[in-house]
Amino acid sequence: MAEVRIENLVKVFPNGTRAVNDVSLAAPDGEFLVLLGPSGCGKTTTLRCVAGLERQTSGDIYIGERVVNDLPPGERDIAFVFQFYALYPHLSAYDNIAFPLRAVGVAADEIDRRVMRVAETLRIKHVLRKRPRSMSSGEQQRVALGRAVIRRPQVFLMDEPLTNLDAALRSDMRVELKHLQRELGVTTLYVTHDQTEAMTMGERIAVMQLGDLQQVGTPLEVYQYPATLFVASFIGDPPMNLIPVTLEGDALQGASGHLSLALAPDVAGAIRQKQSGPGLVLGVRAEDITLSGGDEGDMRGEVTTREPLGDQALYSVGLDGQFIQITTAPTTRFGVGDAISLSIDRSRMRVFDAATERALV
C-alpha cells in the first residue's frame, strides 16, 4: 500500500485543450479519495495520468516514494477500472476476474477463494459461468470491478465504476465497495460526477472545475465550508443559496433593502480587510435559515412555493429577482403568498468575494 501524490500536474492535449491545470493532491496510504466535478472538468485525464495511460505535460506523480512519471502502466502497481470497461469476450466472468491472479501464478484454490469472495461482495455469483456478451451492462461493469479488486495493488483507480447500474443497486454497491476498500486498505482514487456518491463514499473529496482543483476536504468540510462559489453551488441539494450583497458599515445589504444582516464587528472587519472589491456573495444553506411570520428577521419576502418532502418542507421565497430556498420541519404551514421573514444562522453562513469567487469568512 502507498501514498499517491500528484504535484503541479498539467495536461494540455495536442489540440490545445488544457484538461488539468496545475493540480497538486495527495491521498495518504489507505485513503479513499474522490475526485468530484462536472463532466469535462479533467477527472478522467487526471486519473489516466496517474495510471500511466496519458503522459502529463508537466508535473510529477508519486506512488509511495517512487516518481512514476516514466513508468508504463504495468509497472506502477495499480489496478484500474474505467467507465468504459473492457472484458475479455471469450472468457467467462470467472475467468475474467481470475485473469490477473493467473497471470502471476497464484495457486488455483487461492484463486477460487478470492474470486468467490469478490463475486459475493459484488453480487455476481450467478453470472460467473457466463461470457460478457450474455450479461447485462451492470453485470459486466461489476465483473470489471471484480477483476480490478482481485489483486492487492498499491493503488486502485476507479473512474465512474457504478455508472451503468440502476439506482437501487448503485446505492448497495456504494456501501459494498467502500467496505471492500476499507477491508483491503488499498489507497483509492475514485472519480465521479455524482455528489451523492462522493459524499457517501469519500473519506475526502477533491472538487474540480475546468481543470482546476477547487477544494479538498472531508464531505462535511466541503459541504459546510465551501472554499469557492463553484463548490458552494455544486455540492448539496438544494445547493447553497448565493445572494449578492455589499458591506455597509458592519452589515451585509442586499440589492433592494429586503436583506440587511448585521455582523459582529470583527467579522465585518475581516471581510473589509480581505475583500478585493465591493461585490460580495452571501452563502447560506437552506437548513440554516428559519422562517417566521413577524418582521424581526434578516430578510423579508413572500412564499413562492412550498413542497412537502416528507421529513421536511422545502420553501422558496422570492428576493430581489432570485429564489431563496429554505428547508424547515414538515409541520411549518406558511402558504404561498404569505409575507414572512427569514433569519440566517450567523455561525453557518459564508461570505465570498464576488470577483475572486473565493470564501472570505
Applying CB under 6 A, which of residues 8, 17, 136, 305 lies at the interface with ligand ADP?
17
Q: Please report whether residue 316 would count as binding ligand ADP according to CB under 6 A.
A: no
Residue with smaller CB distance to ligand ADP, 198 or 242: 198
Question: Is residue 15 classed exposed, middle or buried when 0-12, 13-18 and 19+ CB atoms within 10 A define those classes?
Answer: exposed
**Biggest alpha carbon distance in the chain?**
75
> Smallest gap, in angstroms, from Cβ of residue 265 to Mg ion?
47
19 is an interface residue for ligand ADP by CB under 6 A: yes
Q: Is 162 in the site for ligand ADP (CB under 6 A)?
A: no
Q: How far is the CB of 194 from Mg ion (least distance, A)?
A: 12
User: Residues near 112 by Cβ (< 8 Å), separated by ≥ 6?
Assistant: none
What's the per-residue H, E or C state across 215-238? EEECHHHHHHCCCEHHHHHHCCCC
C-alpha cell of 259? 436583506
Judged by CB under 6 A, the residue of 39, 256, 273, 347 near ligand ADP is 39
Q: Considering only residues 25, 36, 42, 81, which one is a binding residue for ligand ADP as defined by CB under 6 A? A: 42
- Grid cell 447500474 is found at 165
Q: Taking CB under 5 A as the rule, which mask of x and - marks residues 44-83 in contact with Mg ion? A: x---------------------------------------
In terms of CB distance, is 44 or 341 closer to Mg ion? 44
Check binding of 100 to ligand ADP (CB under 6 A).
no
Site for Mg ion in 156-215 (CB under 5 A): none
In the sheet with 18-27, reading across from the earlier edge strand, the strands are 18-27, 4-12, 58-63, 66-67
Whole-angstrom distance, CA of residue 313 vs CA of residue 72: 54
The verdict on 43 binding ligand ADP (CB under 6 A) reads yes
196, 170 in Cβ contact below 8 A? no
262/279 Cα distance (integer angstroms):
17
Q: For ligand ADP, which residue of 30, 40, 100, 279 counts as binding (CB under 6 A)?
A: 40
Decide: is 44 part of the binding site for ligand ADP (CB under 6 A).
yes
Per CB under 6 A, residues contacting ligand ADP are 13, 15, 17, 19, 37, 39-45
